[in-house]
Structure formats: C-alpha cells, structure tokens
Amino acid sequence: MTATLARARWRVGVEQAGALVTRSVVNTWRQPGSWIPSIVFPLMMAAVYSAQFERAIDLPGFPDVDSFVQFILPASILQGISFNAGEAGTELALDIESGFFDRLIASPVARQSILIGRMGGGAVFSGGLAAALMVVFALVGAPIEGGIVSAVAIVLIAAWLSLAIGGFSIAVALRTGSSEATQSLFPLTFMMIFVSSAFFPTGLMSGWYQSVAEVNPFTLIVDPTRRLALDGFSFADFGRALFWSGVVASVSLSLAYRMYLGRLRRS
C-alpha cells in the first residue's frame, strides 16, 4: 500500500513538473523580447568578429577551419544560452514579485516540481535556441561538419549547460526576489565567456590571459563542443563537455536548491 501511494505521488509530481516546464516554455515564447536578443546578439557578434579576425585562421597553430565563423559557432551558442539561462532566474523573480510563486506554494503542488519546472523550461528552450543558431550558421556557410549526430549532441550539451548557468540566476532570484538583482549576474557570465577559448584558441594567447582561460570552465566545455562541430561526433568529447557542464551544474543547482529551501521557510 505504501509503495503504491509513493508511486502515485511520484507520477503526480512528474505530471506537475511537466506542466510547469510547459508553462515556462510557453511564457518565454510569448515574450519575444526575452529570447530574440539570445539569437540576434550572438549573430551580430559573430559577424563583427568574423570581419575583424578572418585572417587569424591562417596563424600557425590555429584549428583547421574553413572560416572564422565556423570557429566561433560554439561561442555563439554559449552566448545565446547565457542570455536565455539568465532569463530563467529573471522570470522566477518576477513570479515572486507578482505573488504567483506564493500561490504555487499554497497550492497542492509538489514542492520540487516548482523548481524543476522553471529549470526544465529554461533547458528545453536553450536546446531549441542552440538548434536555431546552428541552422542560421549552416545557411551562411558554417554547417556542423559532424552532421545530425553532432548537432543533437550539441543541443543536449546546450540544455545541460543552461541548467549549469541558470542555476546561479535562479539562486539569486530565490534569495533576493528581485528581477534587477538577478539580471546583474549577466555581466559576470559575459566576462567569463570572453576570458575563455570561446573566441580564440588558448594556444595562441599569452600571459595571465592564457593562464586564466586555460582553467576557465567555459574553455573546458567549449573546446570539446567545438571539436564535435568541426571534426564529427566523439563520445570522448561529448562526455567531456557534459562532465564539465555537470561540475558547474552541481555547484549552481546545489546553491539554487539551498536558496529554494530558504525561500520556502520564509514563505
């Protein structure tokens, strides 16, 4: 009897989490102002960088690519995800400010479903965002050389990385309940992307910049993702990207869950 009740509760919790994930995705889609910059800005940056650094691909030690646009494809996806993942925390903060979060807590909804719904919605949308960016890059002559298998792998990495980045914004949203405070995290994420191998290989860097870039978690994620795009699918590279995304996610999601429990105690 107890086992049957536990299975029923688990099934209901999954259904509730699925409904909240759907709500998160639909709400994001209905607000183009929150996701269009996640596509437009990375594409603008790619256009600027490709125009400025196209000749850099001829440098000794630069990865074998057809164009600089092809090289920065993973960086553009990372930028788009950082925009979208931050929006997950902002939307949660808005739910708190509007009182919707408190109404959810007062309703007979599984407590874990509330947090899972918001995080899952951000991950699903980020996966779709990565796919859209890859289509655009393919149209301008920078396709994924690894084909559909590598493309699917990159979408999965994007969704997982969205959880890793979004966990921090959700933690701030839960702690402060302020959308303004949550949005203040974006410059930090943006800076970390630039101090990585996202836009230039670490082997051609020097000094402190190279030292920081080589240990930057984004470098450890971008490099294997780039090889998936340029060289084809590899379980080793796929595993590396997921592993380092998971390392970041273990920190951010643990922090987010801790802040969530604190928010529940205060509500």
pLDDT of residue 235: 93
Residue 205 in contact with residue 213, Cβ under 8 Å? Answer: yes
The answer as to whether 53 is a domain residue is no
The answer as to whether 63 is a domain residue is no
The answer as to whether 252 is a domain residue is yes
Number of compact structural domains in the chain: 1
Find all residues with CB under 8 Å of 183, minimum gap 6, and list them: 86, 90
Query: Is residue 53 classed exposed, middle or buried when 0-12, 13-18 and 19+ CB atoms within 10 A define those classes?
Result: middle
**Residues of the domain holding 196:** 77-266
pTM: 0.86
The answer as to whether 19 is a domain residue is no
Rounded Cα distance, 267 and 259, in Å: 12
The answer as to whether 155 is a domain residue is yes
pLDDT of residue 255: 92
Q: What is the DSSP letter of 204?
A: G
pLDDT of residue 243: 94
Rounded Cα distance, 70 and 73, in Å: 5
Find all residues with CB under 8 Å of 54, minimum gap 6, and list them: 67, 68
The answer as to whether 55 is a domain residue is no
Find all residues with CB under 8 Å of 110, minimum gap 6, and list them: 9, 12, 13, 16, 17
The parts of the chain modelled with pLDDT lower than 70 are: 1-9, 12-13, 267
The answer as to whether 209 is a domain residue is yes
Query: 3-state class of 157 per DSSP?
Result: helix
pLDDT of residue 50: 83
The answer as to whether 57 is a domain residue is no
Locus of tokens 């997982």: 160
pLDDT of residue 240: 94
pLDDT of residue 223: 92
